[in-house]
């Protein structure tokens, strides 16, 4: 039972990591109607900048700030040069252009920083673990990630429902022509939103990078998962991204742990581990297909 609860926390934690990534992606889609396959590249930029700067300064916090800033800056730059030409284009063109951006970012990073993975660890104050009731232990840094995820969720809620910028974002989501008529500088709003989305991805990359391998292409597996999350939640909906992320995190974690145990009842240990983990790999995609089969616009569709 303790194990089950611990795995549930692990699922929540994976969910918050995914939310950090998915929130930016869904924000960009909600406001600009843009499919951004290159979102994983901002994740990578955030992790690289954090790794390089914290190695140089010896401070994870300075590195983190640098990571978020770098991702936001790169995001703004990409929006100004490439993305703004794509808003009126069909999704197909957006997919191709951002696919090209993935190639450019991945290979460009490799050119600049080499093929070897970089070193990036959580700050010493946050390493180690604390005791959970029931005799188990949980890493502090993972609890910090959960906290950051909750802060981002709350922050975005306040931003969107309580601020002027949020009002414009909401206006943009419901009617893109209207906000232009209201005298809002759409071009600037779009750049801002895109940079914000990139900064969120950069934050995710920097935080999770301390638990992961910081290397070229690190954004791709998480990008696909983030897409699953926002599609399940309903594209454009921050709330949907939150619920979708937690659902995917929990289902994926529990599936990985308990499917092999389940199959062990009918077969040998090796076979069960193989079959169970094969099925676990497909589980979230099965979940997504099931949800879309019944709710073709996801759980919390924001708009079309």
Partner 1 sequence: MIKSTTSSLAPHRELPAPTASWHDRKGLVQIGLLAVLLLAPLAAYFLGHVYYVNLASRVTLIAMAAVGLNLAIGYGGMVSFGHAAYFGLGGYVAGISAYHAFDLTPVIAWPIAIPGSDSMLAIWLAAIVVCGLLALAIGAVSLRTTGVYFIMITLAFAQMVYYFANSWPTYGGEDGLPIYLRNSLPMVDTQDPLTFFLICFGGLLLSLALTSRIMKSRFGAALTMARLNETRLATAGIAPYPIRLVAFVISAMITGLAGALYADLNGFVSPTMLSWHMSGELMVIVILGGVGRLYGPLAGAILFVMMETLLGGLTEYWKLFLGLVLLGVVLFAKHGVMGWLAGREHP
Partner 2 sequence: MKKLASAGLGLLMTASMMTAAQAEEVKIGMITTLSGGGSHLGVDVRDGFMLAIERAGRDDIEVLVQDDGNRPDLARSLANEFMQRDEVDILTGIIFSNLAMAVVPAAVRQGTFYLSPNAGPSDLAGRMCHENYFNVAYQNDNLHGAMGAYMREQGFEKPIIMAPNYPAGTDALAGFKHLYEGEVVDEIYTQMGQTDYAAEIAQIRSSDADSLFFFLPGGMGISFMKQWQNSGVDMPVFGAAFSFDEIIIKAVGSAAIGAMNTSLWAYDLDNEANHAFVEAFRETYGRTPTLYAAQGYDTANLILSALEKAHPDDQDAFREALREADFDSVRGEFRFGPNHHPIQDIYVREVVEGDDGEPTNRLVGIAVEDIQDVYHTQCEM
The residues binding partner 2 (CB under 8 A) are: 2-3, 6-7, 10-11, 13-14, 17, 106-107, 110, 114-119, 121-122, 127-129, 136-137, 139-142, 208, 210-218, 221-222, 253, 256-257, 260, 269-270, 273-274, 276-278, 280-281
217 binds partner 1 per the rule CB under 8 A:
no
Q: For partner 1, give the closer residue by CB, 62 or 273.
A: 273
For the stretch 256-280, what's the b/e string if a residue is b when 16 or more beta carbons lie within 10 angstroms of its beta carbon? bbebbeebeeeeeeeebbebbeebb
CA distance 165 to 185: 12
84 binds partner 1 per the rule CB under 8 A:
no
Instruction: Tally the residues of the chain.
Output: 304
Both structure tokens of 224: 């696909």
Instruction: Tell the smallest beta-carbon distance from residue 192 to partner 2 (Å).
Output: 30
Per CB under 8 A, the list member of 61, 103, 154, 261 interacting with partner 1 is 103
278 binds partner 1 per the rule CB under 8 A:
yes
Instruction: Tell the smallest beta-carbon distance from residue 133 to partner 1 (Å).
Output: 36
304 binds partner 1 per the rule CB under 8 A:
yes
Q: For partner 1, give the closer residue by CB, 4 or 99.
A: 99
Instruction: Tell the smallest beta-carbon distance from residue 39 to partner 1 (Å).
Output: 13
Give the footprint of partner 1 on residues 31-60 (CB under 8 A): 33, 35
Question: Taking contact as CB under 8 A, which single stretch among the options 6-14, 68-76, 128-136, 225-233 is the one that binds partner 1?
Answer: 225-233
Contact 247, 232 (CB under 8 A): yes
116 binds partner 1 per the rule CB under 8 A:
no
Count of beta carbons in the 10 Å neighbourhood of residue 30:
27
Q: Give CA angle at 214 (210, 215), nearest 5°.
A: 170
Cα distances (angstroms) measured from residue 233 to each of 4, 33, 58, 138, 291: 25, 16, 39, 29, 10
Strands (E), the chain: 129-131, 137-139
Residue 120's contacts (CB-CB under 8 Å, 6 or more residues apart) are 47, 50, 51, 54, 55, 63, 209, 210, 214
- Pick what 162 binds: partner 1, partner 2, none; C-beta below 5 to 8 Å, kind-dependent: none
Contact 39, 226 (CB under 8 A): yes
Angle separating helix axes 186-209 and 219-233, nearest 10 degrees: 120
Instruction: Tell the smallest beta-carbon distance from residue 45 to partner 1 (Å).
Output: 15
- Pick what 227 binds: partner 2, partner 1, none; C-beta below 5 to 8 Å, kind-dependent: partner 1
Instruction: Tell the smallest beta-carbon distance from residue 289 to partner 2 (Å).
Output: 18
Instruction: Tell the smallest beta-carbon distance from residue 51 to partner 1 (Å).
Output: 21
Q: For partner 2, give the closer residue by CB, 69 or 277.
A: 277
Nearest partner of 227 among 219, 59, 13, 171, judged by Cα: 219
125 binds partner 1 per the rule CB under 8 A:
no
CA distance 106 to 14: 24
Count of beta carbons in the 10 Å neighbourhood of residue 110:
14
Instruction: Tell the smallest beta-carbon distance from residue 114 to partner 2 (Å).
Output: 8
Interface contacts to partner 1, rule CB under 8 A: 29, 33, 35, 82, 85-86, 88-93, 95-97, 99-104, 106-108, 110-111, 176-177, 224, 227-228, 231, 235, 274, 277-278, 281-282, 285-286, 288-289, 292-293, 296-298, 304
């Amino acid at each position: 039972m303790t194990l089950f609860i611990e795995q549930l926390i692990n699922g929540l934690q994976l969910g918050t990591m995914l939310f950090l990534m998915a929130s930016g992606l869904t924000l960009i889609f909600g406001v600009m109607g843009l499919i951004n396959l290159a979102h994983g590249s901002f994740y990578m930029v955030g992790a690289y900048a954090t790794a390089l700067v914290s190695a140089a300064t010896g401070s994870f916090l300075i590195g983190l700030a640098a990571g978020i800033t770098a991702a936001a800056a790169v995001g703004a730059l990409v929006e100004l040069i490439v993305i703004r030409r794509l808003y009126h284009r069909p999704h197909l063109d957006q997919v191709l252009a951002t696919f090209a951006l993935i190639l450019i970012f991945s290979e460009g990073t490799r050119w600049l920083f080499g093929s070897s993975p970089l070193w990036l660890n959580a700050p010493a104050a946050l390493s180690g673990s604390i005791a959970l009731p029931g005799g188990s232990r949980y890493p502090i840094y993972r609890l910090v990630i959960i906290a950051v995820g909750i802060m981002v969720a709350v922050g975005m809620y306040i931003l969107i429902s309580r601020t002027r910028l949020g009002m414009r974002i909401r206006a943009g989501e419901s009617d893109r022509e209207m906000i232009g008529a209201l005298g809002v500088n759409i071009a600037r709003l779009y750049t801002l939103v895109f940079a914000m989305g990139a900064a969120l991805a950069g934050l995710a990359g920097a935080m999770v990078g301390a638990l992961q391998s910081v290397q070229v292409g690190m954004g791709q597996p998480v990008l696909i998962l983030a897409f699953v999350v926002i599609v399940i939640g309903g594209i454009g909906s921050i709330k949907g991204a939150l619920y979708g992320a937690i659902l995917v995190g929990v289902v994926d974690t529990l599936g990985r742990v308990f499917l092999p145990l389940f199959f062990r009842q009918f077969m040998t240990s090796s076979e069960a581990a193989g079959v169970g983990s094969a099925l676990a790999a497909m589980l979230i995609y099965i979940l997504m297909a099931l949800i879309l089969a019944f709710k073709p616009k996801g759980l919390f569709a924001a708009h079309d």
